[in-house]
Structure 1
């Protein structure tokens, strides 16, 4: 994976990481209820689930793409279209205020409970495996070893996921205007959607 391609991968991947999905909303809720420290510990469950999904994706796709150049090309086109579709859906997503009046700050938290909850939410989300299947191949170079490319992308994605986890966890207390209000959610959705549409369009036309 070239350095230029990796630099393109980072903002496109972060657009996916920062989406206000189930895990990010859960991290924000945990940040509000239990504080940043517990929310970050809970996020370990999400990270473990994503590592499993990335490994499964790399194993399955690596075999297919190494065997067929046609499959490689088709998957890239389908994946690029899917990224554009995700971006469009984000632009059209309806937002709503999040009611946090029932949350109590500094409640006692069970580490096992919040780690398990984050893990189950991530591993049971069918969109996660679809994202990895559609997104990662966009940045693969057919002539280069698949395993090393998946490793670079996987590690980068997990690091960016930690950043997203931190931002949502701390938003439960300090940055609530970014995610708890409909206006903040709309801004985030449209910024992420624009990045995904741009990445999908660029990658669909690249060699």
Structure 2
């Protein structure tokens, strides 16, 4: 892949990764509630989901999925419903934040990891990034290698976004130790998650 092509791809890709969307909101919320380390570890689910999407797009199946109105609609509504469900649970949550010296139960970390995975998998915009955005920078003479470089770069930037949003969330968590503030934080995060879900419902598949 020519260096000039990569230098065009990198900043645009980084902007996509850093955009405030459902997954980054989830990392921020998790870090505020349970700490930065569990939030970052849970985001492994997101990386796995995106890595699978990149692999699917790389072999050409992603273009088929993106072009299918039925599949796109099913993924869209399933993802939207899941975001709304998470939002409702956040609004209803009333448990206090964990103490800094507390150990997170393994089952809870597994739950947060699965949330990250399914939120990423349920967003059809992600597969469109890999099927519409990536091909603009792929080197036809070295397709597999260039696609792998693009995918690896995306995942590296996504990891940076995870750490940044988790760090911000952990900082916010220091100011919401009392039950009343936590309640409003949960309501705000839940409302935003529901909002992302409703926006996702109105996402349209690009015309082919």
**TM-score of the aligned structures, taking structure 2 as reference length:** 0.62
- 2:37 maps to 37
**Would you say 1:160 and 2:152 are equivalent positions?**
no
Mapping 1:97-176, distance limit 5 Å: 104-106=96-98, 108=104, 110-142=108-140, 144-174=141-171
Q: Indicate the SS of the match to 2:59.
A: helix
> Runs of 4 or more off by more than 2 Å in structure 1?
61-64, 101-109, 173-176
Q: Indicate the SS of the match to 2:43.
A: helix
> Structure 1 CA distance, aligned partners of 2:139 and 2:167?
37
- 2:52 maps to 52
Could you tell me which runs of 5 or more consecutive residues in structure 1 were left unpaired when the two chains were aligned.
Answer: 65-98, 182-207
Deviations along 1:3-54, one digit per CA (max 9) or x if unpaired, are 2211221111011101111100000000101111000000000000000000
Q: CA RMSD in A?
A: 2.9
Mapping 1:78-89, distance limit 5 Å: none
Please say if residues 40 and 165 of structure 1, whose CA atoms lie closer than 8 Å, have aligned partners that are also in contact.
yes
**TM-score of the aligned structures, taking structure 1 as reference length:** 0.62
Shift of 1:140: 1.4
Please say if residues 40 and 162 of structure 2, whose CA atoms lie closer than 8 Å, have aligned partners that are also in contact.
yes
> Structure 2 CA distance, aligned partners of 1:161 and 1:120?
16
Instruction: Tell me the matched-pair count.
Output: 144
Shift of 1:129: 0.4
Could you tell me which runs of 5 or more consecutive residues in structure 2 were left unpaired when the two chains were aligned.
Answer: 65-90, 174-184, 189-208
**Would you say 1:23 and 2:23 are equivalent positions?**
yes
Please say if residues 32 and 103 of structure 1, whose CA atoms lie closer than 8 Å, have aligned partners that are also in contact.
no
Please say if residues 35 and 105 of structure 1, whose CA atoms lie closer than 8 Å, have aligned partners that are also in contact.
no
> Structure 2 CA distance, aligned partners of 1:127 and 1:102?
32
Shift of 1:175: 6.6
